[in-house]
């Protein structure tokens, strides 16, 4: 029979927008030499594909039809890329186009469609099958990797999450105020945690880690310590 220790190590990282999931997951994966999979990028890629075809994110049947004929691949980035992953839509690298306020909104909208979730969750499970991974998203512990050996629920105070997002927007030259971004972050929280299909929720077996005031190094170290405590590494 398969035991806990013979399974490849699978780590689920869930949490709200701006909690630092991507940076932390990528660093953790690099440190432990695990595959890193960013599932939010797949919802973003679908939103991007819909927008390119002028399909409204809320037009369920057209979104589903677009999804079924769109190929979305997550790949390792070229060296020198500023992101720890590359996203391809029908063979074209669109990574840099996925991180705009427009795709933020589109991804949040298409992710409320239950059939979109079912389809992408299946794809995500195929990608992780039999592999040692760090996978991040909103429903990883709940749906994608329910048997992950460690499930982390990464949080931070809304003001801090908004401040981190504001920096990202500023890096892209987008003019926003902190008040706008706090309001938008609260909206995203409400949307992601109140949708009917697999809302963002902290599960009883999630280990919550509040990253407010912590550096990325501190957070990665805390997770590694937790893995060591549980004798997973």
Residues forming the site for ligand DC (CB under 6 A)? 17, 39-40, 43-44, 107-108, 111, 137-139, 188, 192
The answer to whether residues 153 and 207 touch, using CB atoms and an 8 Å cutoff, is yes
Smaller CB separation from ligand DC, 107 or 227: 107
The answer to whether residues 146 and 7 touch, using CB atoms and an 8 Å cutoff, is no
Smaller CB separation from ligand DC, 9 or 197: 197
Q: Supply the minimum distance, in Å, between the C-beta of residue 196 and ligand DC.
A: 12
Kindly report the backbone phi and psi dihedral angles of residue 113, in degrees, each rounded to the nearest multiple of 5, phi listed first: -85, 120
Kindly report the backbone phi and psi dihedral angles of residue 114, in degrees, each rounded to the nearest multiple of 5, phi listed first: -60, -40
DSSP 24: H
Beta bridge partners of 74: 87
Smaller CB separation from ligand DC, 147 or 225: 147
Smaller CB separation from ligand DC, 139 or 160: 139
Q: What is the distance between the alpha carbons of residues 182 and 180, in angstroms, rounded to a whole number? A: 6
């Amino acid at each position: 029979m398969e035991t806990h220790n013979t399974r490849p190590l699978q780590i689920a990282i869930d949490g709200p927008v701006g909690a630092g999931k991507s940076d932390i997951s990528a660093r953790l994966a690099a440190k432990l030499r695990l595959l890193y999979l960013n599932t939010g990028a797949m919802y973003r890629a679908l939103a991007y594909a819909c927008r390119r075809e002028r399909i409204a994110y809320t037009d369920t049947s057209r979104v589903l039809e677009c999804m079924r004929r769109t190929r979305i691949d997550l790949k390792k980035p070229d060296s020198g890329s500023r992101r720890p992953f590359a996203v391809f839509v029908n063979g074209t690298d669109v990574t840099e186009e996925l991180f705009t306020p427009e795709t933020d909104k589109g991804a949040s909208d298409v992710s409320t469609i239950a059939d979109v979730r079912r389809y992408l969750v299946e794809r995500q499970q195929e990608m992780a099958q039999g592999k040692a991974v760090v996978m991040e998203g909103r429903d990883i512990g709940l749906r994608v990797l329910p048997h992950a050996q460690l499930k982390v629920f990464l949080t931070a105070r809304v003001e801090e999450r908004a401040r981190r997002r504001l920096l990202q927007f500023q890096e892209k030259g987008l003019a926003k105020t902190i008040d706008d971004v706090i309001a938008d972050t609260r909206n995203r929280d409400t949307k992601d945690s109140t949708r009917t299909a697999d809302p963002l929720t902290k599960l009883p077996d999630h280990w919550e880690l509040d990253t407010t005031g912590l550096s990325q190094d501190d957070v990665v170290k805390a997770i590694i310590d937790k893995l060591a405590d549980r004798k997973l590494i």
